[in-house]
Amino acid sequence: MRKISESHPHPSPYHPRRGLPQGEGTRYLQAISAIVWKDLRAEFRSYELISSMLVFSLLVILIFNFALELDIKTRQSVTAGVLWATFAFAGTLGLNRSMAIEKDRGCLDGLLLAPVDRSAIYFGKFVSNLVFMLIVEAIVLPVYSVLYNTNLFQPGLLIVILLGSIGYTAVGTLLAAMSVQTRTRDVLLPILLFPVAFAVLLAAVKASGGFLDGSDFAEIAFPINLLIAYDIIFISVSFMVFDNIVEE
Amino acid sequence: MITVKKLVKRFGLKTVLRGVDFDVQPGEFVALLGPNGAGKTTFLRILASLSRPSLGEVTIAGYKLPGEAAQVRARLGVVSHLPLLYGDLSAEENLRFYARMYGITNYQLRITEILEMVGLESRRRDLVRTYSRGMQQRLAIGRAVLHDPDVMLFDEPYTGLDQDASTMLDDVLKTVAAQGRTVVMTSHDLARAENLATRFDILSRGVIAASASRKQLKKTDLLTFYKQALAG
């Protein structure tokens, strides 16, 4: 073991103040990308989060498939609801685990100690959670298409899934950061999340159903606009309050 | 370097800190001692900007908390009994992640220096979850000094370490302090505190009950001083 004094004369050029000049914006984006890189790196090593979300999703659509025993026409009419129920349940599982990983070894404190605006932590976790959710959705969709004999690969529907996932993950990441600080974190997140995300899920189901039924765009435009509005509101509110939620 | 005036921290109806006054000069190594529940961890979390004070003033390196927390955090290294490391990342990846979070440029060389310093160079690519508790704690100190902080906060760093690991941690702590950094360490281990610190503060019932420098303690031993402070 080498002494610090030998290897690292104090003061050193590594201090954030003394390093090469970096803009606040660059530091902010660097922190977000560092969190996303860290989450993806750790996940693609263990597959702990994606595998649990995926197995859970497949079980849910299988259960719905056998429980409902619907004819082809009726199956199409329930597709939007079953899909979003599956995404919501699996998403909750992923959000809970994603924050629990940070809390368990004190890593959340490690993130909070970084000299960046804490909203960067929120955006980093939000992007990671969104990527995980989209990966699971990308695997669930073809399985669902085969089981329910429904074509889900329509550009409009895929955009709705993206918008709905953004809104759900945006508010879910914020509430997961809140619930992870409590002893009852596993049960608290769905209790907090579902009432708040209800509006997003409802708009997403309406818009998805519209695309699957082949409705006019005029009918689908309203829930899509709602989804966009919810996404903007949830992201803006989370940006403003995240610091207060994570600090004691 | 650290100035705390009439610090109060309440959690609901419970008051944990009841007007703490605390002043640390640059380069001092202060051991903050006290029984369980005295408020040591709460106090350190406030200094680390992880918790907001209910009342009172906290200034570190000329920056006030919580208003200038980002500036304070840039000058602060924190080590707790939890490693604050990701088990599914290697030591190198953990340090790279924190280097990017702290906005450190040219971090590759610095990471090598840190790993050599804590004696983990040969295990740099191994996942942290395969490390022993002592190795994780050494890496945690490496993470904390990565950005060359002026102030170091240690919260019970010896928790869960065996004798060998504790001795190794002593060496790392001594070299960290020898750099001229200001150090505040909470501990239950009076012998280790006596070995390392230049000043001893006793936190009891939410206030600093007594304070003495190493020179002042020469007349009495730390255990007697500690017992007298708690009794008084």
As averages over each run of 10 residues, the pLDDT of chain B (232 residues) reads 93 91 92 90 94 93 89 92 92 96 90 91 94 91 91 89 80 82 90 89 90 83 86 78
Cα-to-chain-centroid distance, residue B119: 20
B83 vs B71: CA distance, rounded Å: 23
B118, A9 Cβ separation under 8 angstroms: no
| A42 contacts in chain B (CB < 8 Å) | 86, 88-89
Q: Is A112 on the interface with B (CB under 8 A)?
A: yes
Predicted confidence (pLDDT) at residue A129 exceeds the cutoff of 70: yes
Predicted confidence (pLDDT) at residue A9 exceeds the cutoff of 50: no
Bridge-based pairing state of the strands B55-60 and B2-11 = antiparallel
∠ CA B107-B108-B112 to the nearest 5 degrees? 110
A53 vs A32: CA distance, rounded Å: 23
Given this model, what pLDDT does residue A10 score?
A: 45
User: Is the model more confident about A53 or about A18?
Assistant: A53
Predicted confidence (pLDDT) at residue A157 exceeds the cutoff of 60: yes
Find all residues with CB under 8 Å of A153, minimum gap 6, and list them: A141, A145
Predicted confidence (pLDDT) at residue A127 exceeds the cutoff of 80: yes
Indicate yes or no: CB of B147 within 8 angstroms of CB of A14.
yes
Given this model, what pLDDT does residue A4 score?
A: 43
CA dihedral B122, B177, B212, B46 (to 10 degrees): -80
Nearest CA of chain B to the CA of A90: how many Å? Answer: 22
pLDDT in tens, A195-243: 999 999 999 999 999 998 888 888 899 999 999 999 999 999 999 999 9
Predicted confidence (pLDDT) at residue A1 exceeds the cutoff of 70: no
Name the β-bridge partners of B65: B58
Please state the pTM of the whole predicted model: 0.89
A22 — pLDDT class (breaks 50, 70, 90): low
What's the burial of B219, exposed, middle or buried (CB within 10 Å: 0-12/13-18/19+)?
Answer: exposed
Chain A (4-33) residues lying within 8 Å, Cβ to Cβ, of chain B: 4-5, 7-8, 10-20, 22, 27, 30-31, 33
pLDDT in tens, B133-144: 889 989 998 999
A154 vs B113: CA distance, rounded Å: 53
Q: Which of A61-70, A157-166, A204-213, B24-33 has the lowest mean pLDDT?
A: A61-70
Predicted confidence (pLDDT) at residue A21 exceeds the cutoff of 50: no
Of the residues B47, B75, B86, the best mutation for testing chain A's interface (the one with the most A CB atoms within 10 Å of its CB) is B86
Given this model, what pLDDT does residue A113 score?
A: 94
pLDDT in tens, B178-205: 888 899 999 888 888 888 899 999 998 8
A248 — pLDDT class (breaks 50, 70, 90): low
Q: Output the six-digit token pair for A122.
A: 């929120």
Chain A (114-173) residues lying within 8 Å, Cβ to Cβ, of chain B: 114-117
pLDDT in tens, A29-47: 999 999 999 999 999 999 9
Chain B (149-208) residues lying within 8 Å, Cβ to Cβ, of chain A: 149, 168, 171-172, 175-176, 178-181
Of the residues A7, A36, A113, A121, the best mutation for testing chain B's interface (the one with the most B CB atoms within 10 Å of its CB) is A113
User: Is the model more confident about A6 or about A150?
Assistant: A150
Indicate yes or no: CB of B85 within 8 angstroms of CB of A11.
no
CA nearest neighbour of B43 among B205, B232, B220: B205
Given this model, what pLDDT does residue B172 score?
A: 77
